Structure 1
Amino acid sequence: MYKGFFKRLFDLLLAIIALPLLLIIFAILGPIIYFQDRGTIFYNAPRLGKDGKVFKMYKLRSMKINVPDLRNEDGSTFNAEDDPRLTRIGKFIRKTSLDETPQLLNIIKGDMSIIGPRPDLPEHCDLYKGNEERKLEIKPGVTGYNQAYFRNTIPWKERIQNDIYYIDHLSLWLDIKIFFKTTISVLKREDVFVTEKRTSSKNNTDVGM
């Protein structure tokens, strides 16, 4: 019952309640993001949603325009505190996770949930092996089991198995624990960045997971 109805109901209620705060964040950060390099305020990132459907995930832009898309050895996106692709304000909104706040709009649209597996890039679908496609059984989340307990400290493939664990144990109580653990992690700003070896690049504007 929770997974099929109440989870979506809670998502909508919390997202709508948080909308005024989102507007305040946009009003403050939007002009700063724009005037630092005259680029767009938002970055619409294509991501894999439920059942493999590709959707546009909304983010505040944290990177400079037309920077290369750097990847780690496991195929996940490169993310480091000293990344020269980040703008000055971009470093701040990454550390505080404010770049993810526009995903409240994805929640209202029905693309995402508050709690769930973090969405992968569309091309990652070709890299799934074994049971890894199971992470697409539910809507992706703004935060999830990995983000709450491990942040960016474990490899991508291990994160997928944790996502499957979450799907198999999904409950209201687990979502509550993840929500509050995420809040603590964000406030402490722990393990925001990863520094795995980069292996490939292509032009993009903002590629943080």
Structure 2
Amino acid sequence: MLKRCFDFVIAGILLLAFSPILMLTAILVRWNLGSPILFRQRRPGLDGRPFELIKFRTMLDSHDRSGNVLPDEQRLTRFGRFLRSTSIDELPELINVLRGEMSLVGPRPLLMEYLERYDAVQARRHEARPGITGWAQVNGRNTTAWEERFRMDVWYVDNRNLWLDIQILFQTIVTVFSRKGIAAEGHATMPAFIGQEIQPRDTTDENS
């Protein structure tokens, strides 16, 4: 209950404080990338229940001659990379926090299709509300292997408390300004999580 109150108050304050940046970013996204301005996607939340994640759009809606969506690397523009490197694209998720679908701190909400690929331990990351930032994000961000990220997510679930959340929020500020760990080597963000038996491939979803 205390964590939820903390999330609601801080998210409200941040939305007001960042409202000029939100409005300016919306205009620039429309100018550089067109419509829609927001990227919306169903993601698994607490206990794996789906909700609609809201982010600023960072990619072009480009297809090849056969109508297939081009890889992330070809659709991600310089402007989109700037939004990601500064985490400005994540700011609309504060609305998800106000709705109670997300927390300021928690395991990042990934793709619905990953649910069936987790083992029993990895699936425990859904015992907490997903977060805008988290323990894995301040310890490697997108450069950390999936298994290590999930290990850190489960560690957070087992050790979460308000003081830890405050520490992670302050570490997040440092991480954002350092612009480290934005993408795994050779990928726009992270390779898709396939599971334990299959090697990862590129993904065409904004999965981080």
TM-score of the alignment, normalized to the shorter chain, above 0.5: yes
Matched to 2:206, the amino acid is: V
CA distance, structure 1, for counterparts of residue 134 and residue 22 of structure 2: 24
Asked if the contact 1:119/1:140 (under 8 Å) is kept, the reply is yes
Matched to 2:6, the amino acid is: F
Matched to 1:172, the amino acid is: L
CA distance, structure 1, for counterparts of residue 104 and residue 25 of structure 2: 22
Tell me by how many angstroms 1:196 deviates. 5.1
Alignment partner, residue 206 of structure 2? 207
Alignment partner, residue 48 of structure 2? 52
Asked if the contact 1:69/1:201 (under 8 Å) is kept, the reply is no
The reply on whether 1:147 has 2:102 as its aligned counterpart is no
* Aligned mate of 1:138, from 119, 125, 128: 128
**Structure with greater contact order relative to length (CA < 8 Å, sep ≥ 6):** 1
Alignment partner, residue 66 of structure 2? none
**Which segments of structure 1 move beyond 2 Å, counting only runs of 4 or more?**
66-70, 195-202
Higher strand share: 1
Give the alignment's TM-score, normalised by structure 2. 0.85
Superposed, 1:95-106 pairs within 5 Å as 95-106=85-96
| Alignment root-mean-square deviation, CA | 2.0
Equivalences, count: 192
- 1:73-132, CA deviations, whole angstroms, 9 ceiling, x for partnerless residues? xxxxx7xxxx22112321110110000000000000000000000012000001011311
The reply on whether 1:11 has 2:7 as its aligned counterpart is yes
Tell me by how many angstroms 1:201 deviates. 6.2
Superposed, 1:1-209 pairs within 5 Å as 5-66=1-62, 68=69, 83-195=73-185, 200=201, 207-209=206-208
Tell me by how many angstroms 1:60 deviates. 0.2
Higher mean C-alpha displacement, 8-17 vs 39-48: 39-48
Asked if the contact 1:148/1:178 (under 8 Å) is kept, the reply is yes
Identity %: 35
Matched to 2:75, the amino acid is: R
